[in-house]
Structure 1
């Protein structure tokens, strides 16, 4: 389908419904937060439009509940200031928009990255703003949420969405207050450390495409990659093995060896120390090298997605939830649970010439469906 044309109706700064206390401390980022690229963690939620609820009603519900939610997620209403986030109550950016002549069923028949980018509340080609949180609601059928990745990971944005949705439904009293404090396990960030490569964000010639692995194919793949060392590989292990093999086979760079970098959520590993309500980047990483000095790094990130019904704002559960980062990083694969919770969507970003080879790989296509329709 053609790229969706989104028209901005209005932009508003939503402030917390109650001012933060004067003694609220500035949020100190950790060294792990600092090493995260200057990008946004992004979530897209799609809903079947309820004709009994106007776009104006939807917008007002979202704004009012957002204002109330920000009283608990106070750094989200602040501003990024180097290695800290000032809790200034300046607010989050909320954009109202509309899409002309586009049915949700048509959009989900073959969703592509360019169309999804139109649902972001900022231009991905522009410099990253200093707002920790930006949101867009589009025609009552979609919500695009951007959270500074330096503030938190996929679990963090999922926790925020659940709290916001519960507040919109009138269940704000059930929301557990988030915990901010990545520095409890990592040293504080330092302004003297410079993260290389950030000046190249958004200046890519790469392309992102979606591949879906259904449950039966994942099970088939798990049996195929099983070995004496790993007799029952997990879904992520199996998919990582296949995608990594196909990425390496598609590489046009013959001078550098490849390295595989995987980021994982540390919360469930030490639950006595890290709460699931912790906002931040408590990650542990694995790096597979081959002993060479000149390396090209490929990242595979497992996005953790809560049950979609928990993102109900009062007009039903989303029919599709997906996520990525923006601007999109080079050589990154993001894995997201599919709509049925059994399959997996892989959003793969590669150089254009390498993507041409990757998407034609017969071993990949034996298990993956290139950008199939999202069933609703």
Structure 2
């Protein structure tokens, strides 16, 4: 399946940015991000019998609405000035249109992880400086059947997952002429003012220590609602009070990934699980949901090499680490004195890991319940949403992105590991008793997870249940 670029252009804001807004300063929390881009792709089937020419017409709607949306989200039409700010120069979004030789349903039957990043306008990696780069990059991929995949690479220096959703929601509402208008909130620099570069320097060192060299493999483990219910029951039966979906899925993957690392290395290492926690629900403001920036902080759960790893014990550790990032912490982290709370939090994490020595880290980020499957540009909702895929990357971090399945009840875990560890993990029977390995998204991820190997789609079954009659 080949992707061929047919056009490139700049989409400028429909109205110029006022001169007093020509520079946008990052908030303190923006300094903790080391990866340059937040990648996301939304896949839309052609359910109307249209062809690729109609899809090209849809692209015109996307361009016009993007221009109007960038007027409100003016920093997203600029370029990265330096590590502290954006030049809001109205250079516009990089907008690419590509034709895909193949049908969307053919791709979705057996998604090739090596192809997914070809639907993005830029390559997500850790080896590029983002200074001078555009904040917003879009690629509209049009399949032969008229299906569309919209790929977005936005700068991680100003947008986290929740902020990407706010932008996509605003853009899609504009495209379909919805009555609801989504206005961004750019007050993060005043809530979390940046005082010097100590936070950036600290996380830069931390980020470099997490980088791995080798060959990354990305696999998708899909947990259906029944499997998640069984996981929660398993934790509850051992004393965990009302564990969440994210807690039990994260803990199981951590448990099995630790076992894979031990088998691959021949020794059991101390391990930590870091979760990026969205702070917006913990901010006392009516407008925090649309707050633009990296409004996140990192939690840290630790497991010593000598520790036993029953699931309920790991769930408790994950819960305890996340619970420390509460309303009280967020209040202390705000304002001119907020750096003290952040320094104390980092110091506590450093003391724990420093006393252990070399430690194996697994990073987690949850995009669950963010609403990406509700993004409708006027021709329906996406059938699939994908995020970070590091397949084949020579430099990577051990990272897991948790995303909703289309129903909103299951979880897709996109796991990025070294190929030797992934070879072991994908055969872990405990993990496969709850999760299906890379099932077709045409099943919406809701089959399987009842036992090892169940839920794997056969071609014949996909044909029978395939909802994409024309795509």
Common topology (TM > 0.5) = yes
1:18-167 matched pairs, under 5 angstroms: 18-49=15-46, 50=48, 51=50, 54-82=54-82, 83-100=84-101, 102-124=102-124, 127=128, 129=130, 130-139=133-142, 140-167=147-174
CA distance in structure 2 between the partners assigned to 1:164 and 1:9 by the alignment? 23
1:337 and 2:404 equivalent?
yes
Q: Which has the larger radius of gyration?
A: 2
Q: Give yes or no for contact 1:261–1:299 (8 Å, CA) kept in 2.
A: yes
- Aligned equivalent of 1:276, options 289, 307, 323: 289
- Could you tell which deviates more after superposition, 109-118 or 51-60? 51-60
Q: Give yes or no for contact 2:28–2:195 (8 Å, CA) kept in 1.
A: yes
Q: TM-score, normalised by structure 1?
A: 0.91
- Aligned equivalent of 2:367, options 303, 311, 328: 303
Cα distance, 1:304 vs structure 2: 3.7
- Could you tell which deviates more after superposition, 294-303 or 126-135? 126-135
- Aligned equivalent of 1:319, options 367, 376, 383: 383
**C-alpha distance 216-113 of structure 1, shift in aligned 2 (>3 A):** same
- Could you tell which deviates more after superposition, 255-264 or 120-129? 120-129
CA distance in structure 1 between the partners assigned to 2:213 and 2:58 by the alignment? 35
2:80 alignment partner, SS class: strand
- Could you tell which deviates more after superposition, 87-96 or 307-316? 307-316
CA distance in structure 2 between the partners assigned to 1:201 and 1:350 by the alignment? 11
Number of equivalent positions = 371
C-alpha offsets along residues 172-229 of structure 1, whole Å, 9 cap, x if unaligned? x631310113233434164574313569979652111111000001101111122554
Per the alignment, residue 206 of structure 1 pairs with: 216
- Could you tell which deviates more after superposition, 244-253 or 347-356? 244-253
C-alpha offsets along residues 220-264 of structure 1, whole Å, 9 cap, x if unaligned? 111112255423211111101100000100003437421111111
Per the alignment, residue 182 of structure 1 pairs with: 188
Q: Give yes or no for contact 1:181–1:280 (8 Å, CA) kept in 2.
A: no
**C-alpha distance 76-178 of structure 1, shift in aligned 2 (>3 A):** same
Per the alignment, residue 348 of structure 1 pairs with: 415
1:350 alignment partner, SS class: strand
CA distance in structure 1 between the partners assigned to 2:65 and 2:16 by the alignment? 15
**C-alpha distance 200-239 of structure 1, shift in aligned 2 (>3 A):** closer
- Could you tell which deviates more after superposition, 151-160 or 305-314? 305-314
2:406 alignment partner, SS class: coil
Q: Give yes or no for contact 1:158–1:305 (8 Å, CA) kept in 2.
A: no
Q: Give yes or no for contact 2:113–2:389 (8 Å, CA) kept in 1.
A: no
C-alpha offsets along residues 26-81 of structure 1, whole Å, 9 cap, x if unaligned? 22112321121133112111111241662321221111110010000001001112
Per the alignment, residue 225 of structure 1 pairs with: 235
**C-alpha distance 318-32 of structure 1, shift in aligned 2 (>3 A):** same
C-alpha offsets along residues 281-323 of structure 1, whole Å, 9 cap, x if unaligned? 1113210124512212111111145445642112222111232
Per the alignment, residue 7 of structure 1 pairs with: 4
Per the alignment, residue 361 of structure 1 pairs with: 428
Give unmatched runs, 5+ long, in structure 2: 305-354, 443-466
Q: Give yes or no for contact 1:112–1:209 (8 Å, CA) kept in 2.
A: no
CA distance in structure 2 between the partners assigned to 1:229 and 1:297 by the alignment? 26
C-alpha offsets along residues 98-143 of structure 1, whole Å, 9 cap, x if unaligned? 111x211111112232111110112346735521111100115110
Per the alignment, residue 215 of structure 1 pairs with: 225
CA distance in structure 2 between the partners assigned to 1:231 and 1:119 by the alignment? 42
1:324 alignment partner, SS class: coil
Give unmatched runs, 5+ long, in structure 1: none
CA distance in structure 2 between the partners assigned to 1:183 and 1:221 by the alignment? 40
- Could you tell which deviates more after superposition, 143-152 or 35-44? 35-44
2:19 alignment partner, SS class: coil
Q: Give yes or no for contact 2:399–2:416 (8 Å, CA) kept in 1.
A: yes
CA distance in structure 2 between the partners assigned to 1:350 and 1:236 by the alignment? 19
Q: Give yes or no for contact 2:389–2:416 (8 Å, CA) kept in 1.
A: no
CA distance in structure 2 between the partners assigned to 1:55 and 1:128 by the alignment? 34
The structure with more helix, counted as a fraction of residues: 2
Q: TM-score, normalised by structure 2?
A: 0.74
Per the alignment, residue 169 of structure 1 pairs with: 176
